[in-house]
Amino acid sequence: MCSMRGTFVLLCVCVSLSLHHHTMSQSPPEGDSLMECTDGYEWDIESQHCKDINECQTIVEACQGEMKCFNHYGGYLCLPRSASVITAPEPSSQSVAILPVESNEAFNPCPVGYDAHGEGCVDVDECVLNLHDCQPSQQCVNTVGTYSCQCPDGYSKIGIECVDIDECRYRYCQHRCVNVPGSFSCECEPGFQLAGNNRSCVDVNECELAAPCQQRCYNTYGTFLCRCEQGYELGPDRHSCNDVDECSYSSSMCQFQCVNDPGRFSCICPEGYQLESTRLCQDVNECETDIHQCGEGQTCINIHGGYQCTDSNRCQEPYVQGSDNRCVCPVIKPECGDLPFSIVHRYMSITSERSVPSDIFQIQATSVYPGVYNTFRIRSGDDNGEFYIRQINNISAMLVLARALTGPKEYTLELEMVSVNPLMSYQTSSALRLSVFVGPYAF
């Protein structure tokens, strides 16, 4: 048997050697006086046989370097010093073949798969020498004393042929398996990618790879979801975000006018109004903010969407300025006989399209006398019947809006209170001149 020594695999050579003198019986042909031996042998007169020449002794430095010389029948071998040589008993004279002198064929005492060299037998590499019978699809692998025909990875040997192994039968892949000649490959479903072992599938975080969503991306197992910021909606492609036109949803988004902006909307108000609570429009009181242009002797009257400048003294002939900003018609003037004794000027503003009927102004008597009965009426200014008086009691009445009005428009109503004392046959009247301004909008 061959032995292995040291940290490397050592070359083991099996050699059959004689333990005594190495001789080979070669008898000269009859009638031939010249004794000749084959190469590597010399004639031994004493034994009358061809004797092996020990080249390891006769040739100076037969092997160079780290190689060691091993004598062999008819020659010698240069082998590594770590090589082991197994000797065999000296062959008997009966087993030694006797070769004719003229023959050039050397005797090979080594087993099949080995060649004789020097004093040992070395393995024959059938693969290198092309002495094998492996198929073209197979690989020849040299072994000690012989060889084997092996199939490439991914193939199995059936008979003398190599047949592809269908690895997909063994469920090596987590998702999909694709068999190819001599191998296989694993594939993953969309949204997954092969792991480091090339068999398992792991989720792909699409949100980190290519930003597939226009705005917000949420990774899920095997896929992802796109979402949009407030004011946008997901498009048909489920990736892009389109602006939502909030103004088209409802006419009541803003009290006056809705303006659509990318991702949002805003409300605007007309001139004379300011935005309140992002959607409502509040009248600007120009008289309080000193942005009016009323001059001296004028009074600023705030109305919906603007203001009016009126004369501070509105008394007209035959009336004169009295106390409490009243206009009084003196009894000494003949033309005052059929006119109200006093006139008070008041102002109010209402919105357009106000619901009706609607109480808009209350009239109140400032002086009450015993035995006097008061009645209230619209003396002038209500030509189309937009207003009427609803008397509450003896000293007060309510001006009622009878029909919806659309502004901007101004009405001047003269409301009269007639006072009668039947016991004293006394009758007088006083008037309230009310300017009603109807704003241009319903707010």
Q: What is the C-alpha radius of gyration for the chain, rounded to an integer number of angstroms?
A: 65
Q: Which residues are CB-neighbours of 268 under 8 A, at least 6 positions away? A: 254, 256, 257, 259, 275
- Give the burial string for 302-331 (b: 16+ CB within 10 Å, else e): bbbbbbbeeeeeebeeebeeeeeebbbbee
Q: How far apart are the first and last CA of the chain?
A: 116
Looking from the CA of 72 toward its CB, the CA atoms found within 13 Å total 27
Give me the tens of pLDDT residue by residue for the chain, a chain 443 residues long.
333 333 222 233 333 333 233 334 444 444 444 467 888 888 888 877 888 888 888 888 888 877 888 887 778 888 887 666 655 444 433 333 333 434 344 556 788 888 888 778 899 999 999 999 999 989 999 999 899 999 999 999 988 899 999 999 988 999 999 999 999 999 999 999 999 999 999 999 999 988 899 999 999 999 999 999 999 999 999 999 999 999 998 888 999 999 999 999 999 999 999 999 999 999 999 999 888 999 998 999 999 999 999 998 899 999 999 888 899 999 899 999 889 999 999 999 999 999 999 999 999 998 888 889 999 999 999 999 999 999 999 999 999 999 999 999 999 999 999 999 988 888 999 999 999 999 999 99
Looking from the CA of 200 toward its CB, the CA atoms found within 13 Å total 5
Compute the distance between CA of residue 238 and CA of residue 154 in angstroms, rounded to an integer.
Answer: 44
Cβ-contact 362, 415 below 8 angstroms? no
Compute the distance between CA of residue 247 and CA of residue 230 in angstroms, rounded to an integer.
Answer: 15
DSSP type of residue 91: P
Q: Which residue has the tokens 């937009």?
A: 386
Cβ-based burial of 6 (10 A; exposed 0-12, middle 13-18, buried ≥19): exposed
Cβ-contact 304, 350 below 8 angstroms? yes
- Identify the CA nearest to 192 among candidates 224, 218, 222: 222
For 93, 202, 218, 277, 363, the CA distances from 207, given in Å and listed in that order, are 90, 15, 7, 38, 73
- The three-point CA angle 369-375-376 to 5° equals 120
For 162, 177, 200, the CA distances from 172, given in Å and listed in that order, are 22, 7, 9
Compute the distance between CA of residue 18 and CA of residue 53 in angstroms, rounded to an integer.
Answer: 13
Q: Which residue has the tokens 């479903």?
A: 189
Q: What are phi and psi of 151, to 5 degrees?
A: -90, 150
Structural domains of the chain, ranges and CATH numbers in brackets: 12-123 (no CATH), 166-203 (2.10.25.10), 206-243 (2.10.25.10), 246-283 (2.10.25.10), 320-438 (2.60.40.60)
Compute the distance between CA of residue 366 and CA of residue 377 in angstroms, rounded to an integer.
Answer: 17
At residue 84, the pLDDT reads 62
At residue 97, the pLDDT reads 35
Q: What is the pTM of this model?
A: 0.55
Strand bridging mode 280-283 / 298-303: unpaired
Cβ-contact 245, 260 below 8 angstroms? yes
